[in-house]
Chain A
Amino acid sequence: MAAVDVLEILSPGILASVQDTGRLGFGQIGVAPSGAADAYACRIGNLLVGNLENAAALEITLMGFQARFRCEAVFTITGADLQPSLNGNPIPLWSVLRARPGDILDLPSPVCGCRAYLSVGGGFHIPAVMGSRSTNIGAGFGGHAGRALRAGDLLRGRGPEHHMHFAERSLPDTLKPVYTSDWVLRVLPGPQNDQFSSSGRAQFYATTYMVSGASDRTGVRLDGPAIPKIAGAPDSILSEGILGGAVQVPGDGKPIILMNETVTGGYRKIAVVIAADLPLLGQIAPGDTVRFQETGLSEARELLRGVEAALQWVRKYVSV
């Protein structure tokens, strides 16, 4: 099917990039997954407009995004509430809407959450690199031209004719995630948990951390009292494989929650955010607060089953 011009970026805002569910399986050659920081919102958005769950969507950060539709389209915005509007009229999140050629989409500033996702029915025409359409911004490949989006970029796509009937669908309220600015993340003890003193660990779970402005797609950086390590332990350990959600503690004692842009690391992990809570990491904004709550492996599995059940419900809902 011929590709048509779908969307022209007028302003990318702080950061906008093409992401899907990530580039998996290349950790052994140092390639991180990348992908949507809030994979739940991204997957739901794609499902609502009738795309494959791992289709390419636009990840839009905090504020200042503006784009013009170049063809008739069905689209949805999921994730953070950045006060989206179409031609100046406020539009709902998690709902499939129609756009006409020339319509202007604005996502000016955040009410809650950090990253919004724009999915269009029929998808964006982005070549897969190493099995994924995600932009690896650090290494400069994948996504649109291997980089974050810029004003003037023109995204092409399949066109909406087979997706128009998805318009007017919206996600039931019960399946919409609740965003806050005071986050509680559920974690399991990290692999080097025993290399922090018991008082250091107690302090970690008792502290309400401030989210630093230095946070980005690589990780959520936290400000708070330094976590002491046990006496005599060096600042770093021998590099080992790492996953998104790992809470590492570098030499200055201030924890960093890693996201999906890192494959190996040489700092101790005091805790690891459970898989069910990983999508929340994409919605934590500078100035928010974060607390950690310890849980167990079987609880973590039940919570993840709950997330997958929600997605399964959406798959059925959109298929009829």
Chain B
Amino acid sequence: MRPEIRHLGDRGLLVELGAGIDPTVNNRVQRLHQILARENLYGVVETVPAYGSLLVVYDPLQAAPEALALQIEDLCEFDAADEPEELHRLIEVPVVYGGEDGPDLDAVAAYHGLTDEEVIRLHTGTAYRVYMIGFTPGFPYMGQLPEALDTPRRETPRTHIPKGSVAIAQRQTGIYPVVSPGGWQIIGRTPLELFDPLQNKPSLMVMGDEVRFTSITAEEAAQWPR
């Protein structure tokens, strides 16, 4: 397929491979991300995948952007239907829903006219794709949330969201790996460590992973192996 390539200043090329939150489009992004990692083009510093685009960061003293864009275009001549080269991993994420760990669970349930239990059943009842990691280290943007849980962001963002908070916004769900501000609805908290800079692989999740949430009790969370 022929991508749309835009300049992000004199250090980046944004390669757009499709629109919207769409697994087929995201597969293409992942595919190109993997191809560029393998090709190791001269002057390419790193690539940053997102929902439908891949940012290719280059050293302007080593790579000429016009030529680099043509090289990338050639590397996009893969079958759009092809799956990425690695199998998706399945990661199970235990969550304590509601209470202090999920202060917005009641409001989310009320917004949709559901009980807390129905929200939990819907959230745990779907497998999610990790479309991209961004915002903070290790933060997975996952989708699609069931339509019945499509919830707007909070009117007033919080300034301090505890590490491990599990949140939803519109048709997405995510996990805050480090303490940060944020505007998503917090419905629970996981004892899993999503980001540890001292590990060889600092981020628990990478783009393309598949995630399932399971409901656990606060007692189980307290004893969860770290």
Interface SS of chain A: helix, strand, loop or mixed? mixed
**When chains A and B are docked, how far (Å) is the Cα of A139 from the Cα of B60?**
29
User: A37 — which chain B residues lie within 8 A by C-beta?
Assistant: none
Is B195 within 8 A of A139, CB to CB? Answer: yes
Tell whether B31 is near chain A: CB-to-CB under 8 Å: no
Closest 8 CB pairs of A and B: A241-B55, A272-B9, A264-B134, A241-B48, A29-B203, A27-B48, A191-B6, A300-B10
Looking at the assembled complex, report how far the CB atom of A116 sits from the nearest CB atom of chain B, in whole angstroms.
26
Tell whether A305 is near chain B: CB-to-CB under 8 Å: yes
Tell whether A167 is near chain B: CB-to-CB under 8 Å: no
Stretch in contact with the other chain, from A170-178, A202-210, A242-250, A281-289: A242-250
Number of interface residues of B (CB under 8 A): 47
Is B10 within 8 A of A28, CB to CB? Answer: no
Is B46 within 8 A of A24, CB to CB? Answer: yes
Q: Could you say which of B19, B53, B179 has the most chain A C-beta atoms within 10 Å of its C-beta?
A: B53
Looking at the assembled complex, report how far the CB atom of B123 sits from the nearest CB atom of chain A, in whole angstroms.
22
Residues of A within 8 A of B (CB): 24-31, 129-130, 136, 138-142, 187-191, 238-243, 245-246, 263-264, 269, 272-275, 297, 300-301, 304-305, 308
Q: Which of A29, A264, A275 contacts B50 (CB 8 A)?
A: A264
Looking at the assembled complex, report how far the CB atom of A310 sits from the nearest CB atom of chain B, in whole angstroms.
13
Q: Mark B5-18, 1 if CB is under 8 A from A, else 0.
A: 01111111010000
User: A139 — which chain B residues lie within 8 A by C-beta?
Assistant: 136-137, 178, 180, 195, 197
Tell whether B192 is near chain A: CB-to-CB under 8 Å: no
User: A240 — which chain B residues lie within 8 A by C-beta?
Assistant: 14, 50-53, 55
User: B180 — which chain A residues lie within 8 A by C-beta?
Assistant: 138-139
Looking at the assembled complex, report how far the CB atom of B151 sits from the nearest CB atom of chain A, in whole angstroms.
17
Q: Which of A27, A138, A238 contacts B55 (CB 8 A)?
A: A27
Looking at the assembled complex, report how far the CB atom of A144 sits from the nearest CB atom of chain B, in whole angstroms.
15
Is B203 within 8 A of A30, CB to CB? Answer: yes
**When chains A and B are docked, how far (Å) is the Cα of A230 from the Cα of B170?**
24
Q: Which residue of chain B has the shortest Cβ distance to A276 in the bound complex?
A: B10
User: B61 — which chain A residues lie within 8 A by C-beta?
Assistant: 301, 304-305, 308
Is A275 within 8 A of B11, CB to CB? Answer: yes
User: B135 — which chain A residues lie within 8 A by C-beta?
Assistant: 30, 239, 263-264
**When chains A and B are docked, how far (Å) is the Cα of A137 from the Cα of B138?**
15
Is B60 within 8 A of A304, CB to CB? Answer: yes
User: B198 — which chain A residues lie within 8 A by C-beta?
Assistant: 129
